[in-house]
Structure 1
Amino acid sequence: MNGNGESNRDAVRRSYDTVAGEYAARLHDELAGKPLDRALLTALLEQTETGTAIADLGCGPGHVAAWLAERGARTVGVDLSPEMVATGRARYPAVEFREGDLLALPAEDGAFGAALALYTIIHIAPGDLGRVFTEVRRVLRPGGLFLVSFHTGDEVRHLDTWWGHEVDVDFHFLDPTRIAGLLEEAGFTVEMRLERAPYPHEAETRRGYLLGRRT
Protein backbone atom coordinates (compact mmCIF):
# COMPACT_ATOMS: atom_id res chain seq x y z
CA MET A 1 0.00 0.00 0.00
CA ASN A 2 1.84 3.08 -1.19
CA GLY A 3 1.88 6.38 0.61
CA ASN A 4 0.07 8.22 -2.16
CA GLY A 5 -2.78 5.73 -2.14
CA GLU A 6 -3.14 5.91 1.63
CA SER A 7 -3.07 9.72 1.53
CA ASN A 8 -5.72 9.73 -1.18
CA ARG A 9 -8.03 7.48 0.85
CA ASP A 10 -7.57 9.67 3.92
CA ALA A 11 -8.58 12.73 1.87
CA VAL A 12 -11.65 10.90 0.50
CA ARG A 13 -12.62 9.76 4.01
CA ARG A 14 -12.35 13.27 5.46
CA SER A 15 -14.22 14.81 2.55
CA TYR A 16 -17.16 12.43 2.77
CA ASP A 17 -17.24 12.78 6.55
CA THR A 18 -17.62 16.52 5.98
CA VAL A 19 -20.58 16.28 3.57
CA ALA A 20 -22.29 13.17 5.00
CA GLY A 21 -25.37 14.89 6.43
CA GLU A 22 -26.00 17.07 3.40
CA TYR A 23 -25.31 14.21 1.01
CA ALA A 24 -27.98 12.10 2.72
CA ALA A 25 -30.49 14.95 2.71
CA ARG A 26 -29.97 15.80 -0.96
CA LEU A 27 -29.64 12.33 -2.50
CA HIS A 28 -31.81 10.05 -0.36
CA ASP A 29 -34.40 9.67 -3.15
CA GLU A 30 -32.14 9.97 -6.19
CA LEU A 31 -33.20 6.57 -7.57
CA ALA A 32 -36.69 7.98 -8.14
CA GLY A 33 -35.23 9.91 -11.08
CA LYS A 34 -32.99 7.13 -12.42
CA PRO A 35 -35.12 4.49 -14.17
CA LEU A 36 -32.18 2.72 -15.82
CA ASP A 37 -30.35 2.38 -12.50
CA ARG A 38 -33.48 0.94 -10.91
CA ALA A 39 -33.78 -1.58 -13.73
CA LEU A 40 -30.17 -2.69 -13.33
CA LEU A 41 -30.55 -3.02 -9.57
CA THR A 42 -33.71 -5.06 -10.07
CA ALA A 43 -31.87 -7.35 -12.48
CA LEU A 44 -29.08 -7.78 -9.93
CA LEU A 45 -31.57 -8.58 -7.19
CA GLU A 46 -33.46 -11.11 -9.32
CA GLN A 47 -30.24 -12.99 -10.14
CA THR A 48 -28.86 -13.09 -6.60
CA GLU A 49 -29.04 -16.43 -4.83
CA THR A 50 -31.95 -16.45 -2.39
CA GLY A 51 -30.88 -15.81 1.18
CA THR A 52 -27.46 -14.40 0.35
CA ALA A 53 -26.50 -10.84 1.15
CA ILE A 54 -25.86 -8.06 -1.36
CA ALA A 55 -22.93 -5.75 -0.59
CA ASP A 56 -23.20 -2.06 -1.45
CA LEU A 57 -19.56 -0.99 -1.64
CA GLY A 58 -19.02 2.71 -1.11
CA CYS A 59 -22.61 2.88 0.07
CA GLY A 60 -22.53 6.43 1.40
CA PRO A 61 -25.56 6.99 3.63
CA GLY A 62 -27.12 3.76 2.37
CA HIS A 63 -30.10 4.84 0.28
CA VAL A 64 -29.38 2.35 -2.51
CA ALA A 65 -28.91 -0.52 -0.04
CA ALA A 66 -32.17 0.55 1.61
CA TRP A 67 -33.96 0.51 -1.77
CA LEU A 68 -32.83 -3.08 -2.25
CA ALA A 69 -33.79 -3.99 1.32
CA GLU A 70 -37.30 -2.65 0.71
CA ARG A 71 -37.56 -5.18 -2.11
CA GLY A 72 -36.58 -8.13 0.04
CA ALA A 73 -32.79 -8.15 -0.15
CA ARG A 74 -30.48 -8.65 2.80
CA THR A 75 -28.04 -5.79 2.32
CA VAL A 76 -24.68 -4.83 3.80
CA GLY A 77 -23.39 -1.32 3.19
CA VAL A 78 -19.64 -0.73 3.35
CA ASP A 79 -18.11 2.74 3.32
CA LEU A 80 -14.77 4.34 4.05
CA SER A 81 -16.38 7.29 5.84
CA PRO A 82 -17.35 6.79 9.51
CA GLU A 83 -19.84 9.67 9.25
CA MET A 84 -21.53 8.12 6.23
CA VAL A 85 -21.81 4.82 8.11
CA ALA A 86 -23.24 6.57 11.17
CA THR A 87 -25.72 8.51 9.04
CA GLY A 88 -26.82 5.32 7.30
CA ARG A 89 -27.32 3.44 10.54
CA ALA A 90 -29.53 6.23 11.85
CA ARG A 91 -31.62 6.42 8.67
CA TYR A 92 -31.89 2.79 7.56
CA PRO A 93 -32.06 0.24 10.39
CA ALA A 94 -32.90 -2.56 7.93
CA VAL A 95 -29.41 -2.29 6.41
CA GLU A 96 -26.26 -3.61 8.08
CA PHE A 97 -23.43 -1.07 7.83
CA ARG A 98 -19.70 -1.67 8.09
CA GLU A 99 -16.85 0.80 7.94
CA GLY A 100 -14.23 -0.45 5.52
CA ASP A 101 -11.76 0.01 2.69
CA LEU A 102 -12.28 -1.51 -0.77
CA LEU A 103 -8.69 -2.73 -0.69
CA ALA A 104 -9.39 -4.75 2.47
CA LEU A 105 -13.11 -5.40 2.70
CA PRO A 106 -14.54 -6.27 6.13
CA ALA A 107 -15.99 -9.60 5.05
CA GLU A 108 -15.03 -13.25 4.83
CA ASP A 109 -14.34 -15.07 1.58
CA GLY A 110 -17.57 -15.75 -0.32
CA ALA A 111 -19.68 -13.73 2.11
CA PHE A 112 -21.95 -12.13 -0.50
CA GLY A 113 -24.22 -13.35 -3.24
CA ALA A 114 -23.80 -10.12 -5.21
CA ALA A 115 -22.16 -6.71 -4.91
CA LEU A 116 -22.49 -3.26 -6.38
CA ALA A 117 -20.21 -0.23 -6.46
CA LEU A 118 -22.04 2.81 -7.84
CA TYR A 119 -19.67 5.73 -8.48
CA THR A 120 -17.26 4.33 -5.90
CA ILE A 121 -14.26 3.36 -8.00
CA ILE A 122 -13.99 6.95 -9.26
CA HIS A 123 -12.22 7.73 -5.98
CA ILE A 124 -9.72 4.85 -6.24
CA ALA A 125 -6.20 5.55 -7.48
CA PRO A 126 -6.12 4.05 -11.01
CA GLY A 127 -3.21 1.78 -10.13
CA ASP A 128 -5.23 0.20 -7.31
CA LEU A 129 -8.32 -0.73 -9.36
CA GLY A 130 -7.11 -4.24 -10.17
CA ARG A 131 -6.52 -4.94 -6.49
CA VAL A 132 -9.99 -3.63 -5.65
CA PHE A 133 -11.64 -5.96 -8.17
CA THR A 134 -9.64 -8.91 -6.87
CA GLU A 135 -10.83 -8.09 -3.36
CA VAL A 136 -14.44 -7.84 -4.54
CA ARG A 137 -14.09 -11.25 -6.18
CA ARG A 138 -12.79 -12.66 -2.89
CA VAL A 139 -15.92 -11.70 -0.96
CA LEU A 140 -18.34 -12.95 -3.64
CA ARG A 141 -19.67 -16.48 -3.94
CA PRO A 142 -18.90 -18.34 -7.18
CA GLY A 143 -21.29 -17.07 -9.82
CA GLY A 144 -22.01 -13.88 -7.87
CA LEU A 145 -22.70 -10.70 -9.83
CA PHE A 146 -20.88 -7.38 -9.48
CA LEU A 147 -22.47 -4.17 -10.82
CA VAL A 148 -20.14 -1.18 -11.15
CA SER A 149 -20.84 2.33 -12.45
CA PHE A 150 -18.61 5.33 -13.10
CA HIS A 151 -18.18 8.50 -15.12
CA THR A 152 -16.62 7.77 -18.51
CA GLY A 153 -13.63 9.60 -19.93
CA ASP A 154 -9.98 10.20 -19.14
CA GLU A 155 -9.98 13.29 -16.93
CA VAL A 156 -9.63 13.90 -13.20
CA ARG A 157 -11.88 16.50 -11.59
CA HIS A 158 -10.85 17.88 -8.23
CA LEU A 159 -13.16 19.50 -5.68
CA ASP A 160 -11.97 21.90 -3.01
CA THR A 161 -15.51 22.86 -2.03
CA TRP A 162 -18.70 20.79 -2.16
CA TRP A 163 -22.09 22.23 -1.22
CA GLY A 164 -20.25 24.99 0.61
CA HIS A 165 -18.00 22.63 2.59
CA GLU A 166 -14.23 22.46 2.27
CA VAL A 167 -13.14 19.11 0.81
CA ASP A 168 -10.16 17.55 -0.97
CA VAL A 169 -11.40 14.86 -3.33
CA ASP A 170 -10.60 13.67 -6.85
CA PHE A 171 -13.11 12.16 -9.28
CA HIS A 172 -11.42 9.88 -11.83
CA PHE A 173 -13.26 9.47 -15.13
CA LEU A 174 -12.65 5.98 -16.50
CA ASP A 175 -12.46 4.12 -19.80
CA PRO A 176 -15.09 1.33 -19.91
CA THR A 177 -12.85 -0.89 -22.02
CA ARG A 178 -10.03 -0.62 -19.47
CA ILE A 179 -12.40 -1.32 -16.57
CA ALA A 180 -13.84 -4.36 -18.37
CA GLY A 181 -10.31 -5.66 -18.93
CA LEU A 182 -9.39 -5.21 -15.28
CA LEU A 183 -12.54 -7.04 -14.21
CA GLU A 184 -11.70 -9.95 -16.49
CA GLU A 185 -8.11 -10.05 -15.21
CA ALA A 186 -9.49 -10.19 -11.64
CA GLY A 187 -11.65 -13.23 -12.43
CA PHE A 188 -14.97 -11.86 -13.71
CA THR A 189 -16.84 -12.53 -16.92
CA VAL A 190 -18.32 -9.25 -18.16
CA GLU A 191 -21.94 -9.98 -19.10
CA MET A 192 -23.24 -6.45 -19.72
CA ARG A 193 -21.73 -3.13 -20.71
CA LEU A 194 -23.62 0.07 -21.45
CA GLU A 195 -23.35 3.82 -21.32
CA ARG A 196 -25.95 6.52 -20.96
CA ALA A 197 -26.22 10.27 -21.19
CA PRO A 198 -26.91 12.15 -17.95
CA TYR A 199 -30.44 12.74 -16.79
CA PRO A 200 -31.41 16.44 -16.71
CA HIS A 201 -30.91 16.67 -12.94
CA GLU A 202 -27.42 15.10 -13.01
CA ALA A 203 -23.97 16.50 -13.67
CA GLU A 204 -23.26 16.56 -17.40
CA THR A 205 -21.10 13.45 -17.65
CA ARG A 206 -21.63 10.19 -19.50
CA ARG A 207 -22.20 7.20 -17.23
CA GLY A 208 -20.77 3.74 -17.72
CA TYR A 209 -22.12 0.46 -16.27
CA LEU A 210 -20.58 -3.00 -16.27
CA LEU A 211 -22.00 -6.22 -14.87
CA GLY A 212 -19.49 -8.94 -14.13
CA ARG A 213 -20.01 -12.49 -12.89
CA ARG A 214 -17.45 -14.10 -10.60
CA THR A 215 -15.94 -17.13 -12.27
Structure 2
Amino acid sequence: MVEQDVLSATIEAYDAAAHAYTQLFRDVLRDSPLDRAIMGVFAEAVSASGNGQVADLGCGPGHVTAYLDELGLAAFGVDASPVMIELARQAYPGLRFEVGSMTALDIADGVLGGVLSRWSIIHTPPQELPVILAEFHRVLAPGGHLLIGFSASEDPSHPTQIFDHAVAPAYRWWPDHLAAMLRRSGLPEVARVVREPQPTDRRQFKEVHLLTRKA
Protein backbone atom coordinates (compact mmCIF):
# COMPACT_ATOMS: atom_id res chain seq x y z
CA MET A 1 0.00 0.00 0.00
CA VAL A 2 1.11 3.56 -0.62
CA GLU A 3 2.38 4.99 2.65
CA GLN A 4 -0.66 6.28 4.51
CA ASP A 5 0.95 9.52 5.64
CA VAL A 6 1.90 10.41 2.05
CA LEU A 7 -1.58 9.58 0.78
CA SER A 8 -3.30 11.47 3.59
CA ALA A 9 -1.15 14.55 3.06
CA THR A 10 -1.86 14.50 -0.68
CA ILE A 11 -5.61 14.17 -0.13
CA GLU A 12 -5.58 17.03 2.38
CA ALA A 13 -3.63 19.24 -0.04
CA TYR A 14 -6.01 18.58 -2.94
CA ASP A 15 -9.07 19.08 -0.78
CA ALA A 16 -7.71 22.51 0.15
CA ALA A 17 -6.83 23.40 -3.45
CA ALA A 18 -9.89 21.86 -5.13
CA HIS A 19 -11.81 25.05 -5.92
CA ALA A 20 -8.77 26.89 -7.26
CA TYR A 21 -7.69 23.80 -9.22
CA THR A 22 -11.12 23.56 -10.83
CA GLN A 23 -11.01 27.20 -11.95
CA LEU A 24 -7.48 26.79 -13.32
CA PHE A 25 -8.01 23.61 -15.34
CA ARG A 26 -11.68 23.64 -16.34
CA ASP A 27 -10.82 24.67 -19.95
CA VAL A 28 -7.56 22.75 -20.31
CA LEU A 29 -8.87 20.46 -23.05
CA ARG A 30 -10.50 23.30 -24.97
CA ASP A 31 -7.13 25.03 -25.09
CA SER A 32 -5.10 21.93 -26.03
CA PRO A 33 -5.85 20.32 -29.40
CA LEU A 34 -3.03 17.83 -28.84
CA ASP A 35 -4.64 16.55 -25.65
CA ARG A 36 -7.98 16.25 -27.43
CA ALA A 37 -6.31 14.26 -30.20
CA ILE A 38 -4.70 11.89 -27.68
CA MET A 39 -8.05 11.38 -25.99
CA GLY A 40 -9.61 10.69 -29.36
CA VAL A 41 -7.09 7.97 -30.16
CA PHE A 42 -7.67 6.43 -26.73
CA ALA A 43 -11.44 6.54 -27.19
CA GLU A 44 -11.21 4.87 -30.60
CA ALA A 45 -8.92 2.14 -29.26
CA VAL A 46 -11.28 1.44 -26.35
CA SER A 47 -14.37 1.45 -28.56
CA ALA A 48 -12.73 -0.95 -31.00
CA SER A 49 -12.31 -3.48 -28.18
CA GLY A 50 -16.10 -3.65 -27.83
CA ASN A 51 -16.07 -2.55 -24.19
CA GLY A 52 -16.59 1.19 -23.75
CA GLN A 53 -16.52 1.28 -19.95
CA VAL A 54 -13.68 3.53 -18.79
CA ALA A 55 -12.42 4.64 -15.38
CA ASP A 56 -10.83 8.08 -15.14
CA LEU A 57 -8.56 7.51 -12.15
CA GLY A 58 -7.51 10.67 -10.39
CA CYS A 59 -10.40 12.45 -12.11
CA GLY A 60 -10.21 15.65 -10.07
CA PRO A 61 -13.24 17.91 -10.75
CA GLY A 62 -14.47 15.67 -13.56
CA HIS A 63 -13.86 17.74 -16.70
CA VAL A 64 -11.86 14.99 -18.43
CA THR A 65 -14.39 12.32 -17.43
CA ALA A 66 -17.07 14.46 -19.04
CA TYR A 67 -15.00 14.75 -22.23
CA LEU A 68 -14.63 10.97 -22.41
CA ASP A 69 -18.41 10.74 -22.08
CA GLU A 70 -18.76 13.17 -25.00
CA LEU A 71 -16.54 10.84 -27.04
CA GLY A 72 -19.07 8.06 -26.54
CA LEU A 73 -17.44 6.14 -23.72
CA ALA A 74 -19.22 4.93 -20.57
CA ALA A 75 -16.86 6.92 -18.38
CA PHE A 76 -16.86 7.32 -14.62
CA GLY A 77 -14.41 9.07 -12.30
CA VAL A 78 -12.52 8.06 -9.17
CA ASP A 79 -10.46 10.39 -6.98
CA ALA A 80 -9.01 10.20 -3.48
CA SER A 81 -10.10 13.78 -2.70
CA PRO A 82 -13.67 13.98 -1.36
CA VAL A 83 -13.86 17.68 -2.20
CA MET A 84 -12.84 17.03 -5.81
CA ILE A 85 -15.51 14.35 -6.10
CA GLU A 86 -18.17 16.65 -4.67
CA LEU A 87 -17.25 19.35 -7.21
CA ALA A 88 -17.37 16.79 -10.02
CA ARG A 89 -20.82 15.59 -8.96
CA GLN A 90 -22.09 19.16 -8.85
CA ALA A 91 -20.71 20.01 -12.29
CA TYR A 92 -21.73 16.76 -14.02
CA PRO A 93 -24.74 15.31 -12.19
CA GLY A 94 -25.42 12.81 -14.96
CA LEU A 95 -22.08 11.06 -14.52
CA ARG A 96 -20.80 8.72 -11.83
CA PHE A 97 -18.00 9.84 -9.49
CA GLU A 98 -16.62 7.94 -6.51
CA VAL A 99 -14.08 8.56 -3.76
CA GLY A 100 -11.42 5.88 -3.93
CA SER A 101 -7.74 5.00 -3.92
CA MET A 102 -5.81 3.69 -6.91
CA THR A 103 -4.06 1.23 -4.61
CA ALA A 104 -7.31 -0.63 -3.88
CA LEU A 105 -9.96 0.14 -6.47
CA ASP A 106 -13.56 -0.83 -5.75
CA ILE A 107 -13.84 -2.25 -9.27
CA ALA A 108 -14.25 -5.91 -10.21
CA ASP A 109 -11.53 -7.81 -12.04
CA GLY A 110 -11.36 -7.46 -15.82
CA VAL A 111 -14.45 -5.33 -16.40
CA LEU A 112 -13.04 -2.16 -17.99
CA GLY A 113 -12.29 -1.46 -21.61
CA GLY A 114 -10.09 1.45 -20.63
CA VAL A 115 -8.29 3.20 -17.79
CA LEU A 116 -7.19 6.82 -17.95
CA SER A 117 -4.46 7.94 -15.56
CA ARG A 118 -3.82 11.57 -16.39
CA TRP A 119 -1.08 12.88 -14.08
CA SER A 120 -2.62 10.82 -11.28
CA ILE A 121 0.56 8.83 -10.50
CA ILE A 122 2.84 11.80 -10.00
CA HIS A 123 2.43 11.95 -6.22
CA THR A 124 3.08 8.21 -5.75
CA PRO A 125 6.45 7.32 -4.18
CA PRO A 126 8.37 5.39 -6.87
CA GLN A 127 8.72 2.23 -4.79
CA GLU A 128 4.94 2.09 -4.43
CA LEU A 129 4.04 2.54 -8.09
CA PRO A 130 3.99 -1.21 -8.94
CA VAL A 131 0.98 -1.59 -6.60
CA ILE A 132 -0.99 0.91 -8.66
CA LEU A 133 0.09 -0.53 -12.00
CA ALA A 134 -1.05 -3.96 -10.80
CA GLU A 135 -4.47 -2.48 -10.00
CA PHE A 136 -4.68 -0.96 -13.49
CA HIS A 137 -3.95 -4.39 -14.96
CA ARG A 138 -6.42 -6.13 -12.66
CA VAL A 139 -9.45 -4.03 -13.57
CA LEU A 140 -8.82 -4.02 -17.33
CA ALA A 141 -10.39 -6.66 -19.54
CA PRO A 142 -8.09 -8.54 -21.92
CA GLY A 143 -7.43 -6.19 -24.82
CA GLY A 144 -8.30 -3.15 -22.70
CA HIS A 145 -6.22 0.01 -22.96
CA LEU A 146 -4.49 2.24 -20.44
CA LEU A 147 -3.57 5.84 -21.27
CA ILE A 148 -1.15 7.22 -18.70
CA GLY A 149 0.16 10.79 -18.69
CA PHE A 150 3.06 12.16 -16.65
CA SER A 151 5.91 14.66 -16.56
CA ALA A 152 9.18 13.31 -17.93
CA SER A 153 12.57 13.16 -16.28
CA GLU A 154 15.48 14.31 -18.44
CA ASP A 155 18.14 11.99 -17.01
CA PRO A 156 17.96 8.25 -17.76
CA SER A 157 20.52 7.55 -15.02
CA HIS A 158 17.93 8.89 -12.53
CA PRO A 159 14.63 7.40 -13.72
CA THR A 160 12.61 9.36 -11.15
CA GLN A 161 13.12 12.94 -10.06
CA ILE A 162 11.17 14.74 -7.37
CA PHE A 163 9.96 18.26 -8.04
CA ASP A 164 8.06 20.94 -6.17
CA HIS A 165 4.49 20.60 -7.45
CA ALA A 166 2.14 23.45 -6.56
CA VAL A 167 -0.13 21.17 -4.51
CA ALA A 168 2.05 18.33 -3.15
CA PRO A 169 5.54 16.86 -3.74
CA ALA A 170 5.60 15.04 -7.07
CA TYR A 171 7.78 12.86 -9.28
CA ARG A 172 8.89 12.93 -12.89
CA TRP A 173 9.60 9.64 -14.69
CA TRP A 174 12.07 8.62 -17.38
CA PRO A 175 9.63 7.39 -20.07
CA ASP A 176 11.49 4.19 -21.00
CA HIS A 177 11.74 3.24 -17.33
CA LEU A 178 8.02 3.69 -16.77
CA ALA A 179 7.25 1.85 -20.02
CA ALA A 180 9.36 -1.08 -18.78
CA MET A 181 7.45 -1.11 -15.48
CA LEU A 182 4.18 -1.17 -17.39
CA ARG A 183 5.42 -4.03 -19.57
CA ARG A 184 6.37 -6.06 -16.48
CA SER A 185 2.87 -5.35 -15.15
CA GLY A 186 1.33 -6.91 -18.27
CA LEU A 187 0.61 -3.60 -20.02
CA PRO A 188 3.01 -3.34 -22.97
CA GLU A 189 3.31 -0.04 -24.78
CA VAL A 190 1.36 0.51 -27.99
CA ALA A 191 2.31 4.12 -28.66
CA ARG A 192 3.63 7.26 -26.99
CA VAL A 193 3.26 10.99 -27.47
CA VAL A 194 5.87 13.44 -26.20
CA ARG A 195 4.97 17.11 -25.86
CA GLU A 196 7.91 19.48 -25.60
CA PRO A 197 7.64 22.31 -23.05
CA GLN A 198 6.24 25.54 -24.43
CA PRO A 199 7.27 29.10 -23.47
CA THR A 200 3.93 29.67 -21.75
CA ASP A 201 4.14 26.51 -19.60
CA ARG A 202 4.45 27.00 -15.86
CA ARG A 203 7.02 24.19 -15.73
CA GLN A 204 9.53 23.45 -18.44
CA PHE A 205 9.05 19.68 -18.39
CA LYS A 206 8.29 17.32 -21.23
CA GLU A 207 4.86 15.74 -21.00
CA VAL A 208 4.49 12.10 -22.02
CA HIS A 209 1.44 9.99 -22.77
CA LEU A 210 1.88 6.22 -23.01
CA LEU A 211 -0.87 4.10 -24.55
CA THR A 212 -0.68 0.48 -23.42
CA ARG A 213 -2.79 -2.61 -23.96
CA LYS A 214 -3.49 -5.56 -21.70
CA ALA A 215 -2.54 -8.74 -23.55
> Which residues of 2 match residues 37-186 of structure 1 at below 5 A?
37-48=35-46, 49-50=49-50, 52-153=52-153, 154-159=160-165, 162=166, 169-186=168-185
In structure 1, the residue matched to 2:34 is 36
In structure 1, the residue matched to 2:157 is none
Q: CA RMSD in A?
A: 1.5
Unaligned runs of 5+ in 1: none
Letter in 2 for 1:189: P
Deviating 4+ runs (over 4 angstroms) = none
Unaligned runs of 5+ in 2: 154-159
Could you say which structure has the higher strand fraction? 1
Cα displacement (A) at 1:200: 4.5
Change (3 A) 1:63 1:200: farther
Contact 1:31 1:38 in 2 (8 A): yes
1:188 aligns with 2:187: yes
Cα displacement (A) at 1:201: 4.0
CA–CA separation in structure 1 for the residues paired with 2:27 and 2:105: 27
1:150-201 Cα deviation digits (max 9, x unpaired):
1111421235xx5xxxx5x111011111100110010012111231113444
Q: Name the SS for the 2:35 alignment partner.
A: helix
Aligned residues: 206
Letter in 1 for 2:140: L
Letter in 1 for 2:193: L
CA–CA separation in structure 1 for the residues paired with 2:148 and 2:55: 12
Contact 2:51 2:112 in 1 (8 A): no
State percent identity of aligned pairs.
34
Q: Name the SS for the 1:192 alignment partner.
A: strand
